[in-house]
Amino acid sequence: MSATGIGAAVRRKEDQRFITGTGNYTSDISRPGELRAYFVRSPHAHATIKKVDTKAAEKMPGVAAVLTGADLANDKIGGLICGWAITSKDGTPMKMGAHPAIAADKVRCVGDAVAVVLAETLRQARDAAEAVEVDYGVLPSVVDPAKAAAKGAPQIHDVAPNNMIYDWHLGDKAATDAAFASAKHVTKLDIINNRLVPNAMEPRAAIAEYDQGNDALTLWNTSQNPHVARLVISAFVGMAPEHKLRVIAPDVGGGFGSKIFIYPEEVVALWAARRVKRPVKWVSDRSEAFLTDAHGRDHVTHAELAIDANNKITGLRVHTIANIGAYMSTFSSSVPTYLYATLLSGQYAIPAIYAEVDAVYTNTAPVDAYRGAGRPEATFVVERLVEVAARELGLDPAEFRRKNFVKSFPHQTPVIMTYDAGDYDASLTKAMDLIDYKNFGKRKAESEKHGKLRGIGFSTYIEACGIAPSQAVGSLGAGVGLWESAEVRVNPTGSIEILTGSHSHGQGHETTFAQLVSDRLGVPIETVSVVHGDTDKVQFGMGTYGSRSGAVGMSAIVKALDKIEAKAKKVAGYMMEASGDDIEFKDGKFTVKGTDKSVGWGDVTLNAYIAHKFTGGQLEPGLKEGAFYDPTNFTFPAGCHIAEVEIDPETGKTTIAKWVAVDDFGNIINPMIVEGQVHGGIAQGVGQAMLEGASYNSDGQLVTGSFMDYAMPRAADLPSFKVDTTVTPCPSNPLGIKGCGEAGAIASPAALINAITNAVGHENVPMPATPSTVWKAAQGGMKKAAE
Amino acid sequence: MYAFTYERPKSVEEAVNLLKKSGEAKLLAGGQTLLPAMKLRLASPGTIVDLSKVAGLSGVKRDGNDIVIGAMTKHVDVMNSAEVQKSIPALAHLVSVLGDPAVRNRGTIGGSLANNDPSADYPAAVLALNATVQTNKRKIAADDFFKGLFETALAGDEIIEAVRFPVPEKAGYEKFRNPASRFALVGVFVAKGKDGARVAVTGAGESGVFRVKEMEAALGKDFSAKAIEGIKVPAKGMIADLHGTAEYRAHLIGVLARRALAAAK
Ligand SMILES: Cc1cc2nc3c(=O)[nH]c(=O)nc-3n(C[C@H](O)[C@H](O)[C@H](O)COP(=O)(O)OP(=O)(O)OC[C@H]3O[C@@H](n4cnc5c(N)ncnc54)[C@H](O)[C@@H]3O)c2cc1C
């Protein structure tokens, strides 16, 4: 392994600019003559719009225009769409209500845009926004997904009676019912997967510029997938043809899924810029981010596990109500279905699974993918059920898991997925060793001596990443293919530009992708740069989410590098008067097999461009190759997290005493970056389990609208993690990579809640397990012990 | 933020005149409460009267048996004051768990008291230590100063100049942080002074900081955690929100009071 090659903990190249304040984020960009946009947003969760009076606002200082939903409709700008078609049990398509970028007739959640003001300065725009008079007819609202489909609930979209978008199912109902009928033991659990606000460090932003001469638009935005944004804004919103729309996502400060989606504000910025013929800039403030970024999770689930006399799991039955919010965000429909129910087998060989999912509209912000997207929800269901079952049966939770693990591969689950490789025993055993499971009893006794409760909790998770084979997702309703592209451009002097359709917003692609190239071509890592996030530079790409950039994005680079090597060998052949087939390439040197004749990388790249040694007829000049890579399967990262907590029963304060994570990510490019991803993921999962929870009151007001009430995890809430790996290389991609971006957030909530419930002796601890909640449970638990 | 007129007087008198001149004027101390409210457009004073250049409003000094802290004294300066650490270590501790370093380096005791946030830390100390709030007009006893949520006895043109804390025999402060804001979910300040024991609670009461008389009576005889073991604070009148039920807050008062007593110095 070279110091900069695959497997090396190379320091992140991009950090130079990030930690010296020289990054280039969307809000850092200003265009000459730009106007600032400020949105007038609904203070009501549900209301008809009777009248929008913009007259007073238009006369305010600095105001260039005040635009409304009616103007948008007049200009025939289309609405936003959800790009994944889900079909209900009865075969009917999902019921997608219209989502205009600015509401015209009705607002459906607090924060819905009703007008936009464009002015010379942000303050002028904001002042004028306050002068826009909106006459609302307030309607009753519903925010609780469990109540949305009830008789008499307020109707949010006419196309969706009872607010029901789809009632979908997966698996074999009859086989599952039969498993339950013959079960020796059934474990039942009601679970709420709490709603989360993503809170990326950088709020969303958009700048749009119209080039009148060429009738072309450019959009700078905070996107995880600028090409998909361009496609949707072009093909569905109908803003401009693709070749007349350039989308640039420069440095992006975190996404966690929330920046995958196409949002109203970027559509409005483009439309407004063309209308007023001046650049338009919009930057979300944190309050707007809380209200309008797509939220995550929000499931209400009842789940049951059937177990036979040999303590083997024989069946799993799940019913989930998924809150979609007021509108269907870009991939919202896929999250509680194909990204969720397909993972309900966990690491276990379960013969029969049946899952039903009802997706409902409510008067809340749209809900879509958030780090893990569906898989944290599935893992939480499975790992809570399995833990509770073991406790009910008086079995060691680790051994009960082990007994039911999938042990041979490939393994076909009853819910679509074919697990390709893994060793679940190995990661469980290693994690138990690392946390010193044997001596947990001693540590518990020690805590009790000090009046503290101690608990331990497992989460043996699996996820499906590297999304995804295009044919497979196409058959499941996806409107896009999920391949990735790469282009390798070698300059005459031998330096290299990698153009990728992946997008880095914290993942460190500029480092890991360069490591791959350095390793493969034997060139210094400094001579490789990674270009991404601009539709004028990279021809097309699907972007970054679903832990796909390594498994899919880098595989595309491998394919392109194969072509580069083949071509470079031919060039070297001409230089040394040998056949390209006789050239060996190793450590940056081209050698004629069986001779000591060789040329270096730089000689070859120069010759590729001067082309003196070959005529164009023999070999095309230049050294540039592209590739598209479409995976043949999902990848299946899996592993084991164990959390150990100490609880003060008097205050309910939970302290995480120990945390062990043993993950199987397949082969690893940069262990330091992987470790960082795991740390961040655990922190997010701990946030969900202990701290975070978006809460709307019954009037549809977001109670947790700022950090004063929405608790984000802080360093002091977390212990020092023990992170390790096991490796079963992924068989379906050339690098054997599985992906690591979401694992921490997927695994950790169940581990923590299992530990807390173990400590307090009560299963009924909802997320977030705040001190108040844990105290209440600990009181119950202590009472029970005393009885 | 809306546009406003900015004034920076040199004396209390000048500041009072500015307040009187414009009904829409607001004093600015550390800005840690006022500026966020203005940025969110929740507050829109026409005039800002910045107290930072008014002489004599900041600093900690000992005056007989009292510690006198100027209204414009920053949290960090109270925390680091050798005099406070020696005479009222519980007060130095309170400030060390108030906010974060940025807040402690800007926020002031006068601003905190004038604001009287029901979850702020200082009001508990002022009430338990039986301190006196000294303004340009009068001296206000702690018991008369706090008037409910964000309400105080201060008149519109009244300026806090200093806070006078009698040095207690013993005092302790225990805070349980709100997991999001890190203000007090509940904070209990206990003190034993020459007039007996006092217990003040912040974060829990629906009308702001309050005293627990039943505990005080018990502690008057025996200033120890044991003395209040059987005393339960009723949940009625306690704040109930996302972060804790009324029952939880009422329960925490007992727990924190005992811990404050155990740690009292
Ligand atoms: C992130 C954050 C965390 C915080 N955490 C805590 C915490 O844990 N505990 C806690 O107690 N507080 C906390 N605070 C509040 C902090 O202590 C503030 O500093 C304090 O509440 C206000 O003090 P200030 O000097 O900043 O006042 P300012 O914001 O300048 O003023 C506040 C109010 O007091 C008035 N005022 C100021 N000085 C005087 C005076 N001398 N006479 C009369 N009126 C006056 C002003 O007109 C204004 O109405 C936090 C604040 C922030 C931003």
CB of A23 closer than 8 Å to CB of A121 = no
From the list A127, A651, A709, the residue facing B242 with the nearest CB is: A709
pLDDT (0 to 100) of residue A781: 56
Distance B23 CA to ligand 1 centre (A): 21
Q: Residue A702's closest chain B neighbor by CA?
A: B242
Residue B55 lies in a domain: no
pLDDT at position A1 over 70: no
CA distance A362 to A344: 26
CA distance A49 to B127: 50
* A280-319 residues touching B, CB cutoff 8 A: 287
**Residues in B touching A691 (Cβ below 8 Å):** 179-180
Query: Length of chain A in residues, anyone?
Result: 787
- The pair of structure tokens assigned to B260 is 């404050």
The three-class DSSP label of residue A677 is: helix
Inter-CA distances, A226 with A81, A248, A372, A684, A713, Å: 16, 6, 21, 25, 30
Residue nearest to atom 43 of ligand 1 (CA): B159
Distance B28 CA to ligand 1 centre (A): 9
Rg (CA), chain B: 18
Residues B36 and B106 in one domain: no
Residues B217 and B108 in one domain: yes
**Residues in A touching B176 (Cβ below 8 Å):** 651, 653, 771
**Residues in A touching B1 (Cβ below 8 Å):** 123
* Residue percentage of chain A with pLDDT more than 90: 97
Residues B31 and B146 in one domain: no
- CATH superfamily ID and name for A31-139+202-253+259-292: Aldehyde oxidase/xanthine dehydrogenase, a/b hammerhead (3.90.1170.50)
Phi-psi region of B264 (alpha: psi -120 to 50; beta: other; left: phi over 0): beta
Kindly report, residue by residue over B208-227, the tens digit of the pLDDT. 999 999 999 999 999 999 99
Cβ-Cβ contacts under 8 Å for A9 (sequence gap 6 or more):
A670, A671, A672
- What CATH number is attached to the domain comprising B163? 3.30.465.10
Distance A410 CA to ligand 1 centre (A): 62
Instruction: Report cis status (omega within 30 of 0) of the bond before A464.
Output: no
Which of A199, A654, A770 is most worth mutating to test chain B (most B CB atoms within 10 A of its CB)? A770
Which of B239, B251, B256 is most worth mutating to test chain A (most A CB atoms within 10 A of its CB)? B251
Strand partners, A459: A641
Mean pLDDT computed over A700-718: 97
pLDDT (0 to 100) of residue A665: 98
Strand residue runs (E) in A284-350: 299-307, 313-325
Residue B156, domain extent: 60-263
Residues B156 and B44 in one domain: no
- Residue in B27, B77, B95, B202 to alter for ligand 1 test, most ligand atoms within 8 A of Cβ: B27
Asked if B245's CB is within 8 angstroms of A691's CB, the reply is no
Cβ-Cβ contacts under 8 Å for A174 (sequence gap 6 or more):
none
A141-194+295-396 and A483-629 in the same fold: yes
CA distance A165 to A160: 6
Shortest-distance atom of ligand 1 to CA B183? 8
Q: Of A134, A137, A138, whose CA–CA distance to A56 is shortest?
A: A134
Domain boundaries, chain A: 31-139+202-253+259-292, 141-194+295-396, 420-471+634-787, 483-629
The three-class DSSP label of residue A541 is: coil
DSSP codes, A492-520 = TTS-EEEEESS--SSS-HHHHHHHHHHHH
Residues B23 and B97 in one domain: no
pLDDT at position A691 over 60: yes
Mean pLDDT of chain A: 96
Using a CB cutoff of 8 Å and minimum separation of 24, what contacts does B92-101 make?
Answer: B93/B173, B94/B121, B94/B122, B94/B124, B94/B125, B94/B173, B94/B175, B94/B187, B94/B189, B95/B121, B97/B121, B97/B175, B97/B177, B98/B122, B99/B32, B99/B75, B99/B182, B100/B182, B101/B76
pLDDT (0 to 100) of residue A785: 40
Mean pLDDT computed over B243-265: 98
pLDDT at position A786 over 70: no
Shortest-distance atom of ligand 1 to CA B34? 29
Cα of A765 to nearest chain B Cα, Å: 14
Residues B75 and B204 in one domain: yes
Inter-CA distances, A5 with A427, A520, A555, A626, Å: 26, 8, 16, 22
CA distance B100 to A275: 46
Q: Of A223, A292, A218, whose CA–CA distance to A253 is shortest?
A: A223
Shortest-distance atom of ligand 1 to CA B28? 30
The three-class DSSP label of residue B250 is: helix
CA B69 to chain centre: 12
Q: Provide the CB-side half-sphere exposure for B255 (13 A, CA).
A: 17
pTM of the shown model: 0.97
Confidence of residue B1 (pLDDT cuts 50, 70, 90): confident
> In chain B, which residues touch A (CB < 8 A)?
1-2, 40-41, 176, 179-181, 185, 242-245, 248, 251-252, 255
Which strands, in side-by-side order, build the sheet including A598-600? A583-586, A589-592, A598-600
Kindly report, residue by residue over A656-677, the tens digit of the pLDDT. 999 999 999 999 999 999 999 9
* Residue percentage of chain A with pLDDT more than 70: 99
Asked if B180's CB is within 8 angstroms of A711's CB, the reply is yes
Mean pLDDT computed over A227-252: 97
Element (H, E) at A331: none
DSSP codes, A403-445 = HHB--SSSEE-SSS-EE----HHHHHHHHHHHHTGGGHHHHHH
Kindly report, residue by residue over A449-465, the tens digit of the pLDDT. 999 999 999 999 999 99
Q: What are phi and psi of A273, to 5 degrees?
A: -60, -40
**Residues in B touching A703 (Cβ below 8 Å):** 242
A664 touches chain B (CB under 8 A): no
Distance B252 CA to ligand 1 centre (A): 25
Residues B41 and B100 in one domain: no
Distance B32 CA to ligand 1 centre (A): 5
A652 touches chain B (CB under 8 A): yes
CA A567 to chain centre: 37
What sections of B43-194 are H helices per DSSP? 75-80, 82-87, 89-96, 101-104, 109-115, 122-128, 142-145
A651 touches chain B (CB under 8 A): yes
CATH architecture, domain A420-471+634-787: 2-Layer Sandwich (3.30)
- Residue in B11, B19, B28, B32 to alter for ligand 1 test, most ligand atoms within 8 A of Cβ: B32
- What CATH number is attached to the domain comprising B33? 3.30.43.10
A766 touches chain B (CB under 8 A): no
Which of A651, A707, A774, A782 is most worth mutating to test chain B (most B CB atoms within 10 A of its CB)? A651
Cβ-Cβ contacts under 8 Å for B216 (sequence gap 6 or more):
B196, B197, B198, B199
Straight-line distance from the first to the last Cα atom of chain A, in angstroms, rounded to the nearest whole number: 62
Mean pLDDT computed over A262-282: 98
Residues B237 and B178 in one domain: yes
ipTM of the complex: 0.96
pLDDT (0 to 100) of residue A713: 97
Measure the CA angle with vertex A719, ends A717 and A724; round to 5°.
135
A704 touches chain B (CB under 8 A): yes
Cα of B17 to nearest chain A Cα, Å: 30
pLDDT at position A784 over 50: no
Domains: count for chain B = 2
Strand partners, B132: B141, B164
Pairing of strands A216-221, A245-248: parallel
CA distance B263 to B265: 6
Q: Residue A708's closest chain B neighbor by CA?
A: B181
- Residue in B22, B34, B135 to alter for ligand 1 test, most ligand atoms within 8 A of Cβ: B34
Asked if A650's CB is within 8 angstroms of B242's CB, the reply is no
pLDDT (0 to 100) of residue B22: 83
Which of B241, B248, B252 is most worth mutating to test chain A (most A CB atoms within 10 A of its CB)? B248
Inter-CA distances, B37 with A39, A489, A532, B23, B34, Å: 20, 52, 40, 18, 5
Confidence of residue A787 (pLDDT cuts 50, 70, 90): very low
**Which amino acid is located at A86 in the chain?**
I
Asked if A772's CB is within 8 angstroms of B243's CB, the reply is yes
From the list A653, A695, A712, the residue facing B242 with the nearest CB is: A695
Q: A141-194+295-396 belongs to which CATH class?
A: alpha beta
Cα of A287 to nearest chain B Cα, Å: 9
A650 touches chain B (CB under 8 A): yes
**Residues in B touching A692 (Cβ below 8 Å):** none
Distance A200 CA to ligand 1 centre (A): 28
Residues B70 and B122 in one domain: yes
| A483-629 belongs to CATH 3.30.230.70 | no
CB of B69 closer than 8 Å to CB of B60 = yes
pLDDT (0 to 100) of residue A782: 52
pLDDT at position A779 over 60: yes
- Residue in B42, B58, B112 to alter for ligand 1 test, most ligand atoms within 8 A of Cβ: B112
Confidence of residue A280 (pLDDT cuts 50, 70, 90): very high
Which residues are near ligand 1 (CB < 6 Å)? B 26-34, 36, 51, 71, 98-99, 103, 106-108, 110-112, 114-115, 117, 120-122, 154, 159-160, 182-183
Cβ-Cβ contacts under 8 Å for A104 (sequence gap 6 or more):
A49, A68, A69, A70, A72, A73
Confidence of residue A780 (pLDDT cuts 50, 70, 90): confident
Distance B107 CA to ligand 1 centre (A): 6
**Residues in B touching A690 (Cβ below 8 Å):** 179
Mean pLDDT computed over A686-700: 98
From the list A650, A691, A695, the residue facing B179 with the nearest CB is: A691
Residues B160 and B65 in one domain: yes
Residues B26 and B133 in one domain: no
**Residues in B touching A695 (Cβ below 8 Å):** 242
